[in-house]
Structure 1
Amino acid sequence: MKISSAESVVMEALWRRSPLTSEAIMAEVCAPQGWTEGTVKVLISRLLKKKAIGATPEGRRYLYSPLVSRQAYVGSESQGLLDRLFDGRLAPLVAHFSDSDKLSEQDVAELKALIEKIGK
């Protein structure tokens, strides 16, 4: 399932706290994004069609909840990036960041710790 960057903003709100009404979603995302109510309603509609979120009726409104976990989404997006740009391999991605001086000392330390943990 492909979730656009705009749709992912709505998903992040729902992953942080759900279920939420459309009004609560709007309160979380409209001001920071500069979006209108209509924009959020369109995004909710798209996510419903994709079955990324579900809607449960509550009185005269709906409560929205994610049907896709953040972990599954991040995994899919990460793998898609690796597949598109680095033939599905992680090492060339890290090498790219290393070659372009995008890795901080903290990044390098965290990567070393992760590699050591994986090696055990």
Structure 2
Amino acid sequence: MEKLTNKEEQIMQVIWKLEKAFVKDIMAELTDEDIHYNTLSTIVRNLEEKKYVGYQAFGKTHQYFPLVKLTDYRNKFMTKAVDSFFEGSYLDVVSFFAKEEKISAKDLEEILKMIEKK
């Protein structure tokens, strides 16, 4: 599975959310973006070439759907990030977010509850 660019990831987020979408549907979800329809269409076709999306043809237009699950993508690249930046230590990941004040004590309590339930 190939790593996506930031723009490709953003577009995949929309496709994962919508589950099935024409380019115009994706465009409507990117309300804060200034992206041309043809550029978006090209990026979606690139995602197709990378085997991230498939499509169903309706005449000359295509409705796209994800071939890669969000959870599979997240697992692969989060694991790679933890390995690359934190030497595989999830403790270091949590410590990093705690030091950066990105995670609260309440969040940590919730994480502990989740761990205890498994």
Superposition TM-score tier, normalisation by shorter sequence: 0.7 to 0.9
One-letter amino acid of the structure 1 residue matched with residue 79 of structure 2? Q
So what's the TM-score if we normalise by structure 2? 0.87
Distance, in Å, in 2 between the alignment partners of 1:34 and 1:69 is: 27
Equivalent residue, structure 1, for 2:26: 25
So what's the TM-score if we normalise by structure 1? 0.86
After superposing on structure 2, the runs of 4+ consecutive aligned residues of structure 1 that deviate more than 6 Å are none
Q: Which runs of 5+ in 1 are unaligned?
A: none
One-letter amino acid of the structure 2 residue matched with residue 80 of structure 1? K
Please tell me whether residue 69 in structure 1 is matched to residue 69 in structure 2: yes
Report the number of matched residues.
Answer: 117
Judged with a 3 Å threshold, the aligned counterparts in structure 2 of structure 1 residues 89 and 46 are, in CA distance, closer, same or farther, namely same
Q: Which runs of 5+ in 2 are unaligned?
A: none
Judged with a 3 Å threshold, the aligned counterparts in structure 2 of structure 1 residues 5 and 106 are, in CA distance, closer, same or farther, namely farther
One-letter amino acid of the structure 2 residue matched with residue 14 of structure 1? I
Q: 5 Å matches for 1:25-104? A: 25-29=26-30, 31-104=31-104
Q: 5 Å matches for 1:3-22? A: 3-22=4-23
State the identity as a percent: 26
One-letter amino acid of the structure 1 residue matched with residue 7 of structure 2? A
Deviations 1:60-112 (A, max 9, x none): 21110100001101111211111111122211111222233332133122122
One-letter amino acid of the structure 2 residue matched with residue 98 of structure 1? A
One-letter amino acid of the structure 1 residue matched with residue 84 of structure 2? R
Does the 8 Å CA contact 2:98/2:104 hold for their aligned counterparts?
no
